[in-house]
């Protein structure tokens, strides 16, 4: 028997299940092309919140699908590959050490980057993403020190931008942490006039040379702005964002930033586990399915709702 190609199977299953497909910008190009909504972490959380579809197929990593489930306990949330984790979320382990760190600073509010597991969200005062971290931290009084987890590079960046004292957890993203200053400087020398656009998960040595620092959406908007003062951009984040850039502003030059000498590309090894075939399969089998304990979801929802409220204002 001949099996239909994944594209046709996904289209048919979407209709029969009443499903919506949400995808992050780090997904393969063909996945971005079939998504109903594509965005950064904030946009995907907002869309998951307002979607009226009974089934959400989340093409991203586990913490994103888990966030969609926490915001929609009554809906079925599927992800194509349950092994699609995130090094930042993993860096919160061991749990006892993280909980001890929070207890040691129990008088301080905890702001957690959305790239963390549900149990960290449940301990948090408020969640943030790369697109609203400054706004979320600035919602606390100026003299209020804040615990910030799990990304130490984002923490340093937000502390500098907001003038707040942040106490960081020591996590990093394995994709952004390996960009190397001397290779970025070489790329800038080889492309005079180019703008370096960087994600705030990059180390300080990269951010120091960036013309713009922002979320994946922010980076795409900057590279495709009609009034950009250059047409060449060096992109210091996962190169999946370049697909959307080429669609919006095809005539420009987008150069993926070179990572360190030992690494050939900066693809996220977790995000790239998802494939069209796995999307079709998860919709056929209705698994892997995300489940979050009801009480844990209730506690994790509160700081997420606070973030969504702050982002609305």
Element (H, E) at 232: strand 232-236
Report 159-178 residues binding ligand 13P (CB under 6 A).
Answer: 173
Asked whether the beta carbons of 258 and 43 are under 8 A apart, the reply is no
Q: Which is nearer to ligand 13P, 130 or 162 (CB)?
A: 130
* Least spacing, CB of residue 173 vs ligand 13P, in Å: 5
Binding residues with ligand SF4: total (CB under 6 A): 13
- Give 239's contacts (C-beta < 8 A, 6+ positions apart): 256, 265, 266, 267
| Three-state DSSP class for residue 253 | strand
Give me the numbers of helices (H) and strands (E) for the chain, helices first please: 15, 12
> Which partner in ligand 13P, ligand SF4, none is near 87 (CB below 5 to 8 A by kind)?
ligand SF4
| Three-state DSSP class for residue 99 | helix
Q: Which is nearer to ligand SF4, 238 or 244 (CB)?
A: 238
The alpha-helical segments, DSSP class H, found in the chain are: 6-17, 29-34, 41-50, 62-71, 87-90, 95-104, 118-123, 133-138, 152-162, 181-190, 204-207, 216-224, 241-248, 276-285, 294-312
Report 56-115 residues binding ligand 13P (CB under 6 A).
Answer: 115
Element (H, E) at 58: strand 55-59
* Least spacing, CB of residue 217 vs ligand 13P, in Å: 7
Using CB under 6 A, which of 38, 40, 198, 297 touches ligand 13P?
A: 40
Asked whether the beta carbons of 153 and 236 are under 8 A apart, the reply is no
> Which partner in ligand 13P, ligand SF4, none is near 157 (CB below 5 to 8 A by kind)?
none
- Does 129 engage in binding with ligand 13P (CB under 6 A)? yes
* Least spacing, CB of residue 193 vs ligand SF4, in Å: 28
Going by C-alpha positions, the residue among 176, 151, 175, 155 that lies closest to residue 91 is 151
Distance of alpha carbon 242 from alpha carbon 227, whole angstroms: 19
Using CB under 6 A, which of 27, 91, 130, 139 touches ligand 13P?
A: 130
Using CB under 6 A, which of 17, 37, 167, 174 touches ligand SF4?
A: 174
> Which partner in ligand 13P, ligand SF4, none is near 270 (CB below 5 to 8 A by kind)?
ligand SF4
Report 225-264 residues binding ligand SF4 (CB under 6 A).
Answer: 238
- Does 175 engage in binding with ligand SF4 (CB under 6 A)? yes
- In the complex, the residues that contact ligand SF4 under the rule CB under 6 A are 61, 86-88, 115, 173-175, 201, 238, 268, 270-271
């Amino acid at each position: 028997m001949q099996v239909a190609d994944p594209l046709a199977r996904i289209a048919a299953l979407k209709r029969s299940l009443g499903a919506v497909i949400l995808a992050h910008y780090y997904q393969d190009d063909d996945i971005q092309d079939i998504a109903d909504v594509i965005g950064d972490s904030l946009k995907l959380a907002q869309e998951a919140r307002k979607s009226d579809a009974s089934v959400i197929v989340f093409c991203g990593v586990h913490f994103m699908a888990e966030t969609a489930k926490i915001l929609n306990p009554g809906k079925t949330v599927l992800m194509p590959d349950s092994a699609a984790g995130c090094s930042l979320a993993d860096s919160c382990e061991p749990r006892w050490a993280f909980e001890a760190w929070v207890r040691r600073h129990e008088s301080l509010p905890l702001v957690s980057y959305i790239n963390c597991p549900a149990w960290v969200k449940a301990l948090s005062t408020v969640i943030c993403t790369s697109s609203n971290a400054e706004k979320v931290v600035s919602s606390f009084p100026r003299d209020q020190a804040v615990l910030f987890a799990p990304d130490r590079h984002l923490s340093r960046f937000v502390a500098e931008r907001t003038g707040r004292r942040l106490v960081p957890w020591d996590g990093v993203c394995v994709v952004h942490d390996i960009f190397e200053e001397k290779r970025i400087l070489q790329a800038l020398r080889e492309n005079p006039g180019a703008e370096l656009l960087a994600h705030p998960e990059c180390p300080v040595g990269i951010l120091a040379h960036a013309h713009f620092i922002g979320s994946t959406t922010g980076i795409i908007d900057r590279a495709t702005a009609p009034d950009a003062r250059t047409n060449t951009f060096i992109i210091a984040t996962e190169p999946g964002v370049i697909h959307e850039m080429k669609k919006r502003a095809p005539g420009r030059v987008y150069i993926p930033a070179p990572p360190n000498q030992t690494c050939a590309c900066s693809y996220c090894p977790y995000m790239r586990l998802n494939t069209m075939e796995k999307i079709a399969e998860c919709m056929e089998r209705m698994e892997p399915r995300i489940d979050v304990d009801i009480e844990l979801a209730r506690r994790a929802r509160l700081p997420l709702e606070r973030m969504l409220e702050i982002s609305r204002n």
